[in-house]
Structure 1
Amino acid sequence: MKAKIAAVLVAGSLAACSNLHSEETMTLSHKEKAVALLNAIETGDSKAISYVNPTNYTQHNLEVGDGLAAFGEVLQALPKGSAKVNVVRAFQDGDYTFTHTEYNFFGHKAGFDVFRFEEGKIVEHWDNLQEVAPANPSGRTQFDGATELTDLDKTDENKAIVTDFVNSILIKGELNKLTNFISPAEGGYIQHNPSVADDLSGLGAALGALAEQGMPTIYTANHKILGEGNFVLAISEGEFLKKHVAFYDLFRLENGMIVEHWDTIEAIPTKSEWKNNNGKFNF
């Protein structure tokens, strides 16, 4: 089945596929379409192709060429039966969806995918991938933790809190304001970064160790904040282990405070290595 969906993409038969299942396409939410497209990487469900605009699809994964034909070529290169996809969390913010997924896709990876929709069709894609690591010092993985979506009436409020946190703490380094966002109490902050323990003490120890090694974590710019209810994704740029990287940070909030965090950090290749010219961000 995977070969089938890849063949459809590469052969350019998308226009025909886009007219199929039109009634179902109209009733599905953007979130459901995004999850179906990701699952199709494993299942080969060609129906999911109809959720993508066949003539207007912009790719921001710099290791993949632009357009759906290039994505089809990637699928064809996968060893048969190797692809596994488990979408753990999925959210919708206006014309955008964002998902948190466990992949086996040329290796075991944690990933965030962002899709933009126009007139019910996917027209743009961003992602950020990181190799899966063993459980962190607190015994947590890159995928476990809360999944329940709540506080839909607080989406804008929570997005504003995370925007302030990223700008004040991560970019400007105003650490004296940290407890405005994260409780200093034990058990007040659950951490899923594979190298960092729970609570502010774990975060401080990890950041301090990197700084002592001459490799501080540096956030230089935030490019996008997306949210639904109690979950907010911040997409930022900076430096990690002296490499130019994209930071995707997913936060869960309760009562105006950040209480849980997942992330991926991906190195950005030099421009001479890019397979498309769309950039890693460019929202």
Structure 2
Amino acid sequence: MRYQNKLAAALAAAALCAPQAHAADATDANRALMRAFVDTAYVQKQVRKAYEAYVAPDLVQHNPNIADGREAAIAEIEGLLKHPAARFDVKHVVVDGDMATVHFRGSLGNGMSAAVVELFRLRDGRIVEHWDAFQVIDPNAQARNPHPYF
């Protein structure tokens, strides 16, 4: 009888651990995907290549100024990067399960920049949903702390 109880306890423990292992595997896979996406789109500025490789065609967009779909996102970002001095300085990429966050300084090459946080949801190896928030950086503002924005 004790053997059966120990076996049942071991099986129950294994069942409880399995989803966590799966979640860790998903986080690792999604972290690799996001690092590749960020490098291709933000660092190399190969927006179309990044979006075609890592973003679902039917991307759900929560930015009210951009239509749903991968092509609308490509057009928007390629438009932002038209100026040769435009760039994204990525500070953090955080991935947990099917959610990813990218925190960066975006500069459009016209003297304007912003602290940006983008949130992505991933499914089946693709980015399927996107949110973002911007904080315009005013170079003339007096910060109340020594570490504004980043």
CA 1:156–1:221: 2 relative to 1, 3 Å? same
Output the CA distance in 1 between the equivalents of 2:130 and 2:40.
17
Tell me the CA shift for residue 261 of structure 1.
0.3
Aligned with residue 193 of structure 1, among 37, 51, 63 = 63
State the SS of the aligned residue for 2:37: helix
Answering whether residue 107 of structure 2 is matched by residue 236 of structure 1, we say no
Tell me the CA shift for residue 153 of structure 1.
3.6
Between the aligned residues of both structures, percent identity stands at 27
Contact 2:113 2:137 in 1 (8 A): yes
Answering whether residue 149 of structure 2 is matched by residue 280 of structure 1, we say yes
Runs of 5+ consecutive residues of structure 1 not aligned to the other structure: 1-149
State the SS of the aligned residue for 2:100: strand
What pairs with 1:41-56 in structure 2 (closer than 5 Å)? none
Tell me the CA shift for residue 223 of structure 1.
0.7
RMSD: 2.8
Output the CA distance in 2 between the equivalents of 1:163 and 1:208.
19
Q: TM-score, normalised by structure 2?
A: 0.70
CA 1:247–1:218: 2 relative to 1, 3 Å? farther
CA 1:208–1:219: 2 relative to 1, 3 Å? closer
Runs of 5+ consecutive residues of structure 2 not aligned to the other structure: 1-21
Contact 2:86 2:109 in 1 (8 A): no
State the SS of the aligned residue for 1:220: strand
Output the CA distance in 1 between the equivalents of 2:41 and 2:89.
12
Larger radius of gyration: 2
Q: Letter of the aligned partner of 1:169 in structure 2?
A: A
State the SS of the aligned residue for 1:154: helix
Q: Letter of the aligned partner of 1:264 in structure 2?
A: A
What pairs with 1:1-283 in structure 2 (closer than 5 Å)? 151=23, 153-174=25-46, 175-184=48-57, 188-207=58-77, 218-240=86-108, 242=110, 243-270=112-139, 273-281=142-150
Output the CA distance in 1 between the equivalents of 2:94 and 2:138.
25
Contact 2:104 2:117 in 1 (8 A): yes
CA 1:171–1:194: 2 relative to 1, 3 Å? farther
Output the CA distance in 1 between the equivalents of 2:140 and 2:84.
24
Residues paired across the two proteins, number = 127
